[in-house]
């Protein structure tokens, strides 16, 4: 009997209507379009409006993924939301999404792994399907970082944007004999580096400001090294080489980090999905947003081998390899 496999069958995304350019930020910060682009590759970001929440954005992205797959919400066994910016401490964003989608069965939970949240959630969803506990899972990244950054700190506020992305996983059936699905996922964390990137303040620390803090140079150094190692790990485990990868879909934090990992893979720029210039860093939403864009515009096609990787506060990092 063949082991159960998880197929990526649905893709969706949501970006708030409001776009904030570097030039607009420069009217109220000591910065410039040239300064931001040179250091990050970012030109603009989408910022949540009054009606945008982690739940509403996640639900919109999930609905698109369901439509793409031709499935109904009632057929989904679980919802996992990767987020560091939930609307409430509880109930979980995922159960709110269940309600928005009209789901009356299954289960949902949130997962907090900062910018690695989507890779972590994808790994959990794959495990649930492989174990036979469910036949399908909505995996969503939804973030509203505009509400936790200090808009007077040019070192952090220029880096982030808001949005949500979603994929739908389902167990492969007999009719999917030739579809490989998720080959493997690999997760890591090192709590000793937790003070490099964090948000102070939580339900148990109401006296704190609740702003994001980052030691950017140290995070950059760890990101290039750890993501390169993670890329090598996932390929080694699957007996593949750099040349076998069709597409790199990285976490969209900084263009220089993306380019560094691409060079490690010996991948030309045209085989790397980049959205950071238009979306900025949307944390756990960045990989599914990039996947959604590249699948829908025809760059990523059935049979392509896609490598995903991310690093976030914790530090957490990981990779996933899937054949679409």
The CATH number of the domain holding residue 291 is: 3.40.47.10
Shared-domain flag, residues 269 and 150? no
- Give the model's confidence band at 211: pLDDT under 50 very low, under 70 low, under 90 confident, else very high: confident
Distance CA 180, CA 172 (A): 9
**What is the C-alpha separation between 57 and 192, in angstroms, rounded?**
33
Q: Is 149 in the same domain as 238?
A: no
Per the domain annotation, does 36 fall within a domain?
yes
pLDDT, position 125: 98
Q: Which of 46-50, 59-63, 173-177, 318-322 has the lowest mean pLDDT?
A: 173-177
pLDDT at 305: 97
Average pLDDT over residues 182-187: 97
pLDDT reading at 1 higher than 50: no
Lowest mean pLDDT among 200-209, 213-222, 259-268, 279-288: 200-209
Residues 170, 23 share a domain: yes
- The one catalytic residue in 115, 186, 254, 279 is 115
DSSP state of 3: P
Query: Which of the four pLDDT bands, split at 50, 70 and 90, describes residue 204?
Result: very low
Q: Which of 175, 193, 216 is the last residue of a domain?
A: 175
User: Is the pLDDT confidence value at 208 over 60?
Assistant: no
pTM assigned to the model: 0.95
Range in 59-68, 190-199, 280-289 with the lowest mean pLDDT: 190-199
pLDDT confidence of residue 266 = 87
Which one is catalytic: 22, 254, 281, 292? Answer: 281
More confident position, 4 or 117: 117
CA–CA dist 180, 134 (Å, integer) = 18
> Cα separations (Å) of 207 from 89, 195, 204, 297?
16, 19, 9, 46
For residues 23 and 156, state if they share a domain: yes
Residues 89 and 126 in one domain: yes
Average pLDDT of every residue of the chain: 93
Residue 171 lies inside a defined structural domain of this protein: yes
Do both 21 and 82 map to the same domain? yes
Q: How high is the pLDDT of residue 179? A: 74
Whether 29 and 43 share a structural domain: yes
1 domain-assigned: no
Clarify whether 251 is annotated catalytic: yes
pLDDT at residue 209, as a whole number = 60
Band of pLDDT at residue 203, cut at 50, 70 and 90: low
Helix axes 286-296, 54-69, angle to 10 degrees: 30
pLDDT, position 87? 94
Is 170 a domain residue? yes
- Average pLDDT on 21-37 reads 96
Same-domain check for residues 294 and 185:
yes
pLDDT bracket for residue 228 (50, 70, 90): confident
Banded model confidence at residue 225, pLDDT cuts 50, 70, 90? confident
**212 within domain boundaries:** yes
- Dihedral sign computed on CA atoms, order 31, 32, 38, 43: positive
Among residues 141, 175, 209, the one where a domain terminates is 175
- 63 lies in some domain: yes
Show which of 159, 175, 191 is a domain's final residue.
175
Residue 138, in any domain of the structure: yes
Q: Token pair for residue 126?
A: 């794959």
Q: Is 115 a known active-site residue?
A: yes
Claim to verify: residue 86 and residue 128 sit in the same structural domain = yes
Per-residue buried b or exposed e for 247-259, using 16+ beta carbons within 10 Å of the residue's own CB = bbbbbbbbbebbb
Residue 288 counted as domain residue: yes
Catalytic residue among 251, 254, 279, 292: 251
Count of domains observed in the chain:
2
CA distance 116 to 187: 9
pLDDT for the residue numbered 37: 97
Q: Are residues 156 and 290 in the same domain?
A: no
Q: Are residues 214 and 304 in the same domain?
A: yes
Domain that holds residue 297: 181-323
Do residue 197 and residue 294 come from a single domain? yes
Give the percent of the chain with pLDDT over 70.
Answer: 97
């Amino acid at each position: 009997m063949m082991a159960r496999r998880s197929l990526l069958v649905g893709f969706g995304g949501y970006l708030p209507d409001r776009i904030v350019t570097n030039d607009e930020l420069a009217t109220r910060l000591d910065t410039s379009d040239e300064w931001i682009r040179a250091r990050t590759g970012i030109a603009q970001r989408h910022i949540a409006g009054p009606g945008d929440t982690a739940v509403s954005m996640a639900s919109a992205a999930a609905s698109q993924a369901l439509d793409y797959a031709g499935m109904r919400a009632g057929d989904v066994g679980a919802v996992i939301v990767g987020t560091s910016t939930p609307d409430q401490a509880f109930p979980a964003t995922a159960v709110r999404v269940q309600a928005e989608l009209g789901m009356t069965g299954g289960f949902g939970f949130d997962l907090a792994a900062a910018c690695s949240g989507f890779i972590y959630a994808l790994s959990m969803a794959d495990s649930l399907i492989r174990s036979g506990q469910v036949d399908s899972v909505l995996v969503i990244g939804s973030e509203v970082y505009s509400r936790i950054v200090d808009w007077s700190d040019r070192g952090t506020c220029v880096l982030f944007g808001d949005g949500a992305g979603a994929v739908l996983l389902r167990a492969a059936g007999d009719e999917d004999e030739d579809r490989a699905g998720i080959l493997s996922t690999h997760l890591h964390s090192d709590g000793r580096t937790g003070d490099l990137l964090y948000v102070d303040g939580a339900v148990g620390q109401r006296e704190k400001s609740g702003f994001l803090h980052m030691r950017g140079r140290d995070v950059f150094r760890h990101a290039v090294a750890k993501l390169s190692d993670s890329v090598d790990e996932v390929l080694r485990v699957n007996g593949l080489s750099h040349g076998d990868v069709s597409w790199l879909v990285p976490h969209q934090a900084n263009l220089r980090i993306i380019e560094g990992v691409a060079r490690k893979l010996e991948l030309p720029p045209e085989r790397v999905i980049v959205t950071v210039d238009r979306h900025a860093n949307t944390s756990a939403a960045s990989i599914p947003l990039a996947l959604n864009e590249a699948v829908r515009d025809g760059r990523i096609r059935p049979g392509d081998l896609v490598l995903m990787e991310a690093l976030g506060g914790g530090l957490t990092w990981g990779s996933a390899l899937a054949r679409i």
